[in-house]
Structure 1
Amino acid sequence: MQLLHNLCRIAAPSGNEAPLTTFVLDYVRQHQASWQHQPRVVAHENLQDCLLLVFGEPRTAVFAHLDSIGFTVRYGRQLVRIGGPQAEAGYRLVGKDSQGEIDCTLTVDEETGELSYAFPREIDRGTELTFRCDFRETETTVQSCYLDNRLGVWNALRLCETLEHGIIAFSCWEEHGGGSVAYLAKHIYEIYGVRQALISDITWVTEGVHAGQGCAISLRDSLIPRRSYINRIRAIAAASGVPHQLEVEGSGGSDAKELQHAAAPWDWCFVGAPEDHVHTPNELVDKRDIASMLALYQVLMREL
């Protein structure tokens, strides 16, 4: 879990993914020699802070978003949400501005719900603040801020160890409206002819999806994927024997929304571990679901 711990400690809210992009590139350079197959690394200004790892003759792309939720300092001591973080008075927020390091406390006005911070000085406007990382590991669970989606990134990087054919696409801005997957999808479709995808992201523990019972294959969220593609994935998963659950939701979304709206015939399916305490500093995931997620991705990338 050391890799996951390292990922969770890197501040990379939507719009400022560059620190995590740099970490991932460095990780690939340091570890790819030990992987079974070597990827082509695609990282240039036309992809902004996104990057692609292209293995062999790809048929399927895995999308994992790099960014996290957070807060932007407005005027005075006001804060504006980045994405949809839960805001509870007392949460510790960290960052850095022109005057130095910041470790402050989130405050919430009981009447208006307006967000601000408690700190001895005013913080430069435009500064990004993120949850302070308190990574906790037990024999059965991991708990930290930003398991959504550092666990999806972890899954993608671990998948690289055995992947022969496929594309790993690290995207940006997912938590705050998206935007990057549109040009990634266009590039992947036009250059490599790939038009089917798996979404390596984290979903919710609900009344129908339980911790410890395997990763979730989502049959739908606010969008509906093509049923014939989902049925192929379900059949592969059932034959594999890897523990998994089926998820049905009427809200929520992921990088898949831009694939659904793409000007190319993309198929997609969200496959990810469920977490509790979503979008808080205390996101909680069962290790059995982490193992299930990686194992299922390994099978799907061979069979699809």
Structure 2
Amino acid sequence: MDDLLKEILLINSVSGDESRISACLRNHILKRRSSWNVSPEIFFGEEFQENILLVFGEPKTAAFAHMDTVGFTSRYENQLVPIGGPEVISGTWVQGQDAVGGIRCRIEEKEGNLYHDFPRAIQRGTVLSYEQNIRTDPGTIQAAYLDNRLGLYALLKLCETLEHGVVVFTTYEEHGGGSMPFLLRFLYEKWAIKQALIADVTWITDGVHLHQGAVVSLRDSFIPRKTFLDKIVRLAEESGVPYQLEVEAAGGSDGREIQMSPYPIDWCFVGVGAENPHTPAEKASFFDLDCMIKLYQYLMQNL
């Protein structure tokens, strides 16, 4: 595991509180872009909130990765409210910060409600996230927030060689979205972008396995246009990069907001599978991550 992946894994960025990871990505981009094959035009700032867009050359395709993670909001009487869909396992350690000081406590579920065991009241609205514990072996990584730190990492590596395309780091994906509509309008009106790839993490299932390559999703709870899927699968086959085809009836990504948008933009999820989704112990394969990066390099060059 290289230093960049470790750095972004250690930064909290629950949906709605993405400012720290956004700043980290901007710093990395500004330091490294002069060494990339093409130095991109960068769009960020108040009119983009915490979102970041990098425009390389003459783009036809955009690749998206969301910066946010699941977590919890403190409520009243030691209660917590989920942000996104965290897997609630009693005894799990969470952490955060309010005006009084640092917070480290455990969560527990009682009669359908969530509580924390911190010895004092936590200020209302404080955001808590899983305590990070990164574990690696020669083939796998296990940690919180692989969803979607692996997507961020893959697109940052893509930036090193990308000549034409847009890379977009988005917010709010885990809690229903909200940033994609104005980003899509900007991309479509300024560059007529009509193709999109979603760099994200999916689940290990009976059809998606660790160490079997990148994942090209043919559908989740939404269904991309088949002519575009056929093109992606053909290019994936031509690339020689190991990949798996996913078919699911549930789940979603930033692709759902593309499909629900008023713009004629085709999309496809291309990512990696992970075990134990939305827990502090998500587990993924380094081989699959490498395949994802190589497949993005090929797709963005040939779409």
Q: TM-score normalized by structure 2?
A: 0.98
Alignment of 1:269 with 2:268, yes or no, is yes
Matches of 1:60 and 1:191, distance apart in 2: 13
Provide the residue aligned with 1:75 in structure 2: 76
Q: Which residue of 2 aligns with 1:84?
A: 85
1:128 to partner: Cα distance: 0.3
Corresponding residue number in structure 2 for 1:207: 206
Partner of 1:142: 141
Q: CA deviation at 1:33?
A: 1.8
How far has the Cα of 1:93 moved from its partner? Answer: 0.3
State the match for 2:285 in structure 1: 286
What is the match of residue 223 of structure 1?
A: 222
Match in the other structure for 1:162: 161
User: Structure 1 CA distance, aligned partners of 2:135 and 2:112?
Assistant: 30
The DSSP-based 3-state class of the residue aligned with 2:58 is coil
Task: Determine the structure 2 residue equivalent to 1:20.
Answer: 21
- CA displacement, residues 261-282 of structure 1 (integer Å, 9 cap, x when unaligned): 1111010000000000000000
Matched, 1:53 2:54: yes
Query: 1:57 is paired with a residue of what secondary structure?
Result: coil
Q: State the secondary structure of the residue aligned to 2:186.
A: helix
1:91-240 matches, within 5 Å, as 91-109=92-110, 112-240=111-239
Over residues 161-181 of structure 1, what are the superposed CA-to-partner deviations in whole Å (9 max), with x where a residue is unaligned?
Answer: 000000001111000010111
Q: Tell me the equivalent position of 2:299.
A: 300
1:114 CA displacement: 1.2
Aligned-residue RMSD, C-alpha:
0.7
CA displacement at 1:46 relative to structure 2: 1.6
Q: For residue 273 of structure 1, give the secondary structure of its aligned residue in structure 2.
A: strand
Aligned residue type for 1:86: E
In structure 1, what is the Cα distance between the partners aligned to 2:39 and 2:142?
A: 32
Residue 233 of structure 1, CA deviation = 0.7
Give 1:11's aligned residue: 12
In structure 2, list runs of 5 or more residues that go unmatched. Answer: none
Measure the CA separation in 2 of the matches of 1:23 and 1:35.
18
Quote the Cα distance in structure 2 between the aligned partners of 1:278 and 1:44.
31
Number of residue pairs matched by the alignment: 302
1:50-83 Cα deviation digits (max 9, x unpaired): 1100000001000100100000000120000000
The corresponding residue for 1:31 is 32
Question: For 2:283, what is the secondary structure of its paired residue?
Answer: strand
1:202-223 per-position Cα deviation (integer Å, ceiling 9, x unaligned): 0110001111100110000111
Q: TM-score, normalised by structure 1?
A: 0.98
Distance 1:11 1:197 in 2: 27
Partner letter of residue 25 of structure 1? R
SS of 1:133 mapped into structure 2: coil
**Greater mean deviation of Cα atoms: 233-242 or 30-39:** 30-39
- What is the SS of the residue equivalent to 2:217? strand
Distance 1:277 1:50 in 2: 27
Unaligned runs of 5+ in 1: none
CA distance in 1, matches of 2:45, 2:6: 27
